[in-house]
Amino acid sequence: MKLIGPWEVRRRIKLPALVHAADAMAVERVVGDLNGVLKVATNLDKHQVIVCYDASQAAYQTIIEAMVSIGFPPLDNWWCRVKSNWYQYSDANTKENAKTPPAACCNKPPK
């Protein structure tokens, strides 16, 4: 999955309950329907979901809440919590940066 736009991000999320192909299809369907999600892929061998989304439109927490609502919470260990907090921080910064107006082309703005 190649990222194209300036606000696109790729997140790998471990889901211990992801064991069957039907589970993978359910997760792909629910996450894929969210606004801003560009692509969803699952890896059953690694119990992992890879989500590419536009961080100016979607948020990591929204994706996690969608997966928890259908019974697939993410792995809850120290490292996954650190990554989750980092992803949320990064998404919040990206959303704020997407809203800012572009900078002037020189030191003095035109009159």
The 3-class SS string of 46-66 reads CCEEEEEEECCCCCHHHHHHH
Task: Provide the 3-class DSSP secondary structure of residue 86.
Answer: helix
Whole-model pTM: value is 0.84
β-bridge mates for residue 49, sequence order: 13, 42
Q: Please report the domains of the chain, with CATH numbers, ordered by start residue.
A: 1-73 (3.30.70.100)
pLDDT tens for the chain, 111 residues: list them: 677 778 899 999 999 999 999 999 999 999 999 999 999 999 999 999 999 999 988 999 999 999 999 999 999 999 999 999 999 999 999 888 888 887 766 666 666
